[in-house]
Amino acid sequence: MSNTIKRSNLFVWLLDPLQPTADRADARYRFAWSPSAWLLPLGIGVAALVISAVGWVTDPEQFYFSYLIGWTFCISLALGGLFFVMIQHLTSARWSVVVRRIPEALIWSFPLLAVLGIPVLFGMHDLYHWTHHELFDPASASYDPVIAGKEAYLNIPFFLGRLAFYFIAWSYISYRLYTLSILQDIEPDPSIPKAQRRVSAWGLAVTAITTSFASFDILMSLDPHWFSTIFGVYFFAGSFMAIMAFIALIAMTLQKAGMLTGVVTTEHYQDLGKFLFGFVVFWAYIAFSQYMLIWYANLPEETIFFRRRLENGWEVSSGILLFGHFVIPFIVLLSRPAKRLLPVLAFMCVWMLVMHWFDFHWIAMPVLHEQATFHLLDFTTWIGLFGVFLGVVIYRLSRHSLVPEHDPRLAESLQFTNT
Amino acid sequence: MLKEVASEIKATMGVYESRDDELYGMLAEFTDPGALHDAARSVREAGYRRFDTHSPFPIHGMDKAMGMGNSKVGYITLAGGLIGLALAWWLQWWTGAVDYPINISGKPFFAIEPSIPIMFELTVLFAATAAVVGMFVMNGLPRYYCPLFNSKRFMRVTDDAFFLHIAASDGRFDPEGTEKFLRELGAVAIEIIHDREDPEQTGG
């Protein structure tokens, strides 16, 4: 890397490992807001996290669950972005080149998310029932033979080792994809697309497996008796749906400020809308597959998951999830005009991001509360973590070209039309 | 009256009726896809409604140039899907709970959970079938005979020639005016098509 130099300052490296290259970008791909625009979402996020810190002192158990939901929401967006970028490289996709820099700026969030995951480690005793030693002690009154049988997998050192492995793997793949793309802006070396494809090929396999196990570890083990082998796919389906909404919203926001004019067009938004619709359906397909098998087999250790979520007020959440995450967006996004009318698409993108968070709330919160509740901390931790996350994404976008301007398929992407 | 409605409906499928004097329409050949595309737009703008374009491959933007609007097949597909959904629901309920109820490990005779896969499959099956059948109907297919086949020149349409055809049943059609208009648009050859076997017609 001759022209781009790595930052030595560890704090900045966490936000962006590369020096700014925006001043060398083509004028129409430049970031038009003030370079400190990223401080606004970051400031809101930090303020919300400070408010949440009060909750940490007064109600730590609630704080940990709320924080875990917000943290998982950000991880799932970053993973969705990672999947998206790799699939675009592997398929040599043309349509998506003009919007690819947005998820590329997103994926270097993993090191920061690992740092933001530290509170979860402090809360492990409250979050994860299987961390309680007495469950594994046959002499103890609360000995749990089922959980004791899972000791080889559900133990703290292995859990921490797995989390470390996931974050190192995701960060490394992201680093490669991010730096290769920025490097291409400066030195359009013809070997770069091949290198991007090579990283994506093994990266996709590694990310698919680690995402699946990460969803088992972070979310599914909240209820250590329950298990569902399709859970990783369920997590992926929601994540990939959410990243489409996120990309479309960021692109629309940038365009509102006069950036990317004539670069991202209705045609690209329609494709993002198609993906959004497709993964709304895929999520429902996977969610139903999980539900139906458990309904049919009718085994107590599996049905308990849905039983808990179908009584004491949680049935309202389940209903909102069914209609809000599938039925309503299915009907609205089905037609072609809805995907091409930007106000409608923007509304549905915000809607789906909220439902994506709601989905995690529905998975995690019934573990803590038998009665359905929404706590203020659910929202402050979510806004806090998402604000910080969004701030650093905008920070990276502001430092580089908004489009991978020397990608060999950019010209085709600019002219792309749906037939 | 009924005949006019039928003729109108057939015209939307691209099936045009010939006039009483067996005049079917006028076929104009263009040199390249771009010329055909521009000609289609001009013909549309001149007020012609019963015309069609023929080319060896799909031409990007042709539907817009011809003023075709969005395909209606999507609505037919939706209707097919809804019928499939309702039919599957009824099938599951009637076979399971009415006609032949069997107690299988204490499960309800009819429940929505195990019925959803069948509802999903029949929705897809009926929607897909409706889409294909709808596409055929909207295109007036299958169609075994078309007077355009009487033209020798027209045989090249699957190879390297680009044609625009204006039906004689179009309100604005008149043999001299239309021919002049097509010449102005850059047609390299113009042919009158009759709806009859014509061994003398060699094209040109």
User: Cα separation of A128 and A135, whole Å?
Assistant: 12
d(CA B93, CA A91): 44
Domain that holds residue B150: 22-70+145-194
Look at residue B100 and tell me if it is in a domain: yes
B79 and B133 inside one domain: yes
Q: Is the pLDDT of residue B202 over 60?
A: no
Q: Are residues B65 and B153 in the same domain?
A: yes
Average pLDDT score over residue span B9-18? 83
Q: What integer best gives the mean pLDDT of chain A? A: 91
Q: Is residue B27 scored above 60 in pLDDT?
A: yes
Task: Classify residue B15: in a domain, yes or no.
Answer: no
pLDDT at residue A321, as a whole number? 95
Question: Torsions phi, psi of A374, nearest 5?
Answer: -120, 130
- Whether residue B30 is found in the same domain as residue B64: yes
The alpha helices in A96-230, defined as continuous H runs, are 101-107, 110-116, 118-122, 124-127, 145-148, 156-186, 192-218
Calculate what percentage of chain A has a pLDDT beyond 90: 71
Give the Cα separation of A263 and A28 in Å (integer): 9
Q: What is the pLDDT of residues A154-174, one digit of tens each?
A: 999 999 999 999 999 999 999
Q: What is the pLDDT of residue B85?
A: 96
pLDDT for A351 equals 96
Task: Tally DSSP H helices, then E strands, for chain A.
Answer: 19, 0
Checking if the pLDDT of B91 tops 90, the result is yes
Question: Is there a single domain that holds both residue B33 and residue B89?
Answer: no
Residue A1 has pLDDT above 50, yes or no: no
Give me B116's structure tokens.
């959803």
What the block records as the tokens of A105 is 């700026």
**Which of A244, A182, A242, A176 lies closest to A207, judged by CA?**
A176
Cα A307 from Cα A313, distance rounded (Å): 12
Q: Is the ipTM of this complex over 0.90?
A: no
- Beta pairing, strands B51-54 & B189-194: unpaired
* CB–CB contact B116 A295 (8 Å): no
Q: CA-nearest residue of chain B to A281?
A: B120
Residue B161 lies in a domain: yes
Q: Are residues B83 and B57 in the same domain?
A: no
Does residue B42 sit in the same domain as residue B129? no
- Work out the average pLDDT over B20-47: 88
Query: Residue A5: what pLDDT?
Result: 53
Co-location of B81 and B65 in the same domain: no
Domain for residue B8, yes or no?
no
Expressed in percent and rounded to 5, the helix, strand and coil fractions of chain A are: 75, 0, 25
- Do B131 and B91 fall within a single domain? yes
* Domain assignment of residue B14, yes or no: no
Q: What pLDDT does residue B204 have?
A: 43
Residues of B with Cβ-Cβ distance to A292 under 8 angstroms: 113-114, 116-117
CA dist A365 and B174 (Å) reads 76
Task: Work out the average pLDDT over A270-289.
Answer: 95
Residues B113 and A292 sit within 8 Å (Cβ to Cβ): yes
A64 vs A381: CA distance, rounded Å = 9
**Does B4 fall in a domain?**
no
Best residue of B70, B71, B113, B121 to probe chain A, by most A CBs closer than 10 Å: B113
Q: Let me know if residue B200 belongs to a domain.
A: no
- Residue B134 domain flag: yes
Which residue, of B120, B138, B156, is where some domain finishes?
Answer: B138
Cβ of B70 and A291 within 8 Å? no
Residues contacting residue A296 through CB under 8 Å, at least 6 positions apart: B113, B114
* Mean pLDDT confidence for A373-396: 94
Identify which of A309, A418, A412 has the alpha carbon closest to the alpha carbon of residue A94. Answer: A412
Structural domain total, chain B: 2
Say yes or no: B66 and B77 in one domain: no
pLDDT of residue A303: 92
Q: CA–CA separation, A289 vs A302, rounded Å?
A: 14
Q: Record the pTM.
A: 0.86
- Same structural domain, B54 and B91: no
